[in-house]
Amino acid sequence: MPEQPGKNAIEVRGVRKVFGTGENQVAALDTVSVSIRENEFFTLLGPSGCGKTTLLRLIAGFDFPTAGEILLHGQDIAPLPPYKRPVNTVFQSYALFPHMTVAQNIGFGLEMLGKPKAEIEARVAQMLKLVKMEALKARRTSQISGGQQQRVALARALAPQPKVLLLDEPLSALDYKLRKEMQIELKRLQNETGITFIFVTHDQEEALTMSDRIAVMSAGKILQVGTPRDIYDRPAERFVADFIGETNFLPGTVVSKQAGVATVKFASSATISAGYPEGFNPTGEVTLVVRPEHADLVSDPAKGTITGTLSNIVYFGTDTHYHVKLDGGGENFIVRHQNSRSSAVTYETGAKVGIQFEEDAARVLKD
Amino acid sequence: MTTAALSPTTLSKAALFEAQAVKTSARRNRLLSLPALIIIGIFGVLPLIIICIYSFLVAAPYGGVQWQFSTDAYLNFLFQRDIFDDTLQFTPDFLIIYLRSFLFAVVTTIICLLLGFPTAYFMATRPPAQRNWWVLLITIPFWSNLLVRTLAIMFIIRDEGLINNALLALGVIDKPITMLYTNFAIQLGLLYAFLPFMVLPLYSSLEKLDFRLVEAAYDLYATRRQVLWRVIIPLSKPGIIAGCLLVFIPALGAYVTPLILGGGVHLMIGDLIAQQFGSGRNWPLGCAQALILMAAVLVALFFYVRNTSGKVQHG
């Protein structure tokens, strides 16, 4: 299982990538190091322009690093051209060959590797079955739908049995329902083939539901690597907390701290204990982060750690978001309640309310 | 809300109005195509009909035609009537000129393709801002007249020309290499004249090529050579077809280039046909030769397009 340290499929060591020359130089990747384990579903997550696609292209071989090395099973592949790397890519645009049929597309990689015809045919048939496209094998790629093109792109990349499969935002062009289906499909394919998947996305929900581990990137750097739960519950930096899921930010002052837990005082003089990441030494004025679902509304303001006025109630079906204008000012605080049939209390906008926090709900983070 | 407000009568009125709009737009379209049809009729179809009729008439002694039906023009293409006993004798003179011209045109097309493809590829892979400058450079020869440019070539390759003088001065050769008035000169002139017609359609086709497909092919273990043959060339086939047609057809009928650089010794079809209307004073023969050329080109085109488009389909 991915939690246990396994062998590394890909090791990125101190990789820098600079585009342009002279004054127009832009560092797309600023000394990135990361290890991706064998058979892992690893996701590079970040906003556009964070360097995640650049890193993927360096692993694929479409670009070459300015500095650093990329190891595949211990061998440095950074100087190799793409056709000498046992790595295949599923492109965002699918990049299917328009002058070939579905079956010809899937067989292309094997054909280029010089495999015998019988083997290619058998493997293509197997792939068509795997992605459930047998019926459309003779079609041209322009004659099939986006979701089907997606499946063909996957089959084409998987057919040569690469050591690592790279996926560059492959689901971004699909509509919501198809995307959900393909997410499950991708997980199934990864389980069945046992190939290491490196998945690039800017969609945090996609990253959380599919990945074994996630690397959150911003401005050419990797900010945090961890399991989805790690990243969500124990974000290392404010950016990570902000980018993944909804988060409330609260100003406070550190009163005391010991063993990774700080006591923080709010303006209302209420105090709360909050964890903080290793290697970070919070002092003075700090920002606390609290997930909306880790806080609770109470109708009696006196019982709340912090208080405010209910400014807006947004109904989402499965849950309801309560926007609270805090008495101390600042941004609205959002509390998320799961809806149930027996919701005891109903709130009205304009009511004075208190907010309570669950145990360990708040964390102090680097800005 | 709006659909509810529409009564049956307004609906049918709307339908009627739409039908009328379709009818008027169809009429307008026909009207718009009229100028083009008139031009094609007057300058394309009508001269062709005249040529066709003239080719079946008898030549008048001082040019022009006599209105008398005859198939002599076509017979004269392959046979010569003996002056004394009126028998037909096979003479391949014209046929040889036709075959030579085809050979010139084929070689021109192939060399233009071999030179033009890398050029167009280079242009298409420049940053977009640079590309227009490259296109401009390719079109610079069009700014001056072909005749002038061909005469310039003559000055470069003649015995006392630029190349020979330079080679003599450098001591590489001790007497001038004869280049002017040879097949080589004609071939060079044709290449020079028609290369841009190959580069431009190739460029427009390669510029539209999705280079992510090239990356995808590299990713799937295709070497550079395989990427070229399996992805780039099949996808730029429309440009290759267009370029080859634009070079082959005018090269086949070239007139100025072989006349000047071949010195009237090495004839091509264009010169042959022109001769019939000039010194030859045999208009029907000229017309027949032109029509035979047209028929040959049409047949060649038919096979070429059928073969190449077939290849595109089968990948």
Cβ pair A15, A226 in contact under 8 A: no
Question: Does pTM surpass 0.90?
Answer: no
Helical segments of A100-256, H only: 102-112, 117-130, 146-158, 176-193, 204-210, 228-233, 238-243
Where is average pLDDT lowest: A58-62, A120-124, A145-149, B231-235? A145-149
pLDDT of residue B75: 87
**Which residues in chain A touch residue B219, judged by CB atoms under 8 angstroms apart?**
60-62, 82-83, 87-89, 157
Closest residue to B218, CB basis, from A82, A113, A157: A82
Beta-bridge partners for A37: A8
Question: Cβ contact (<8 Å) for B212 and A83?
Answer: no
Closest residue to B212, CB basis, from A93, A109, A112: A93
Q: Where are the domains of chain B?
A: 96-313
pLDDT of residue A250: 87
How much is the mean pLDDT over chain A? 88
In the predicted structure, residue A55 carries a pLDDT above the cut 80: yes
Say how many C-beta atoms besides its own lie within 10 A of residue B28's C-beta: 10
In terms of DSSP bridges, do strands A41-45 and A196-201 run parallel, antiparallel, or are they unpaired? Answer: parallel
Residue of A nearest to B312 (CA): A99
pLDDT of residue B5: 47
pLDDT of residue A67: 92
Closest residue to B315, CB basis, from A89, A100, A112: A100
In the predicted structure, residue B7 carries a pLDDT above the cut 70: no
Residue B233 touches chain A, beta carbons under 8 Å? no
B20-59, pLDDT tens digit by residue? 777 777 888 888 999 999 999 999 999 999 999 999 998 8
A342-360, pLDDT tens digit by residue? 665 678 888 888 888 887 8
C-alpha span between A225 and A88 (Å, rounded): 23
**Which residues in chain A touch residue B230, judged by CB atoms under 8 angstroms apart?**
108, 112
User: What interhelical angle do B283-313 and B237-252 show, nearest 10?
Assistant: 170
Q: Which of A91, A96, A108, A163 to mutate to test the interface with B (most CBs of B within 10 A)?
A: A108
| CA torsion angle B9 B10 B14 B17 (round to 10) | 70
Question: Cβ contact (<8 Å) for A95 and B212?
Answer: yes
B172: its two tokens: 């590489």
Query: How close is the nearest chain A Cα to the Cα of B229, in Å?
Result: 12
By residue count, chain B amounts to: 315
C-alpha span between A350 and B299 (Å, rounded): 86
Going along chain A from its start, the domains and CATH numbers come out as 8-238 (3.40.50.300), 247-364 (2.40.50.140)
Amino acid making up residue A50: C
Residue B220 touches chain A, beta carbons under 8 Å? yes
Query: How close is the nearest chain A Cα to the Cα of B11, in Å?
Result: 36
Architecture of domain B96-313: Orthogonal Bundle (1.10)
Cβ pair A117, A125 in contact under 8 A: no
Cβ pair A298, A355 in contact under 8 A: yes
- SS3 of A282, please? coil
Query: How close is the nearest chain A Cα to the Cα of B130, in Å?
Result: 17
CA angle A182, A186, A188 (to 5 degrees): 115
Closest residue to A89, CB basis, from B219, B222, B312: B219
A255-307, pLDDT tens digit by residue? 888 878 888 888 777 888 888 888 788 888 888 889 998 888 888 888 888 88
Q: Give the mean pLDDT of A21-43.
A: 90
- Counted across chains A and B, CB pairs separated by less than 8 A come out at 66
> Which backbone phi and psi does B312 adopt, to 5 degrees?
-60, -40
Question: Cβ contact (<8 Å) for B218 and A95?
Answer: no
Q: Give the mean pLDDT of A12-28.
A: 88
Where is average pLDDT lowest: A65-74, A350-359, B119-128, B242-251? A350-359
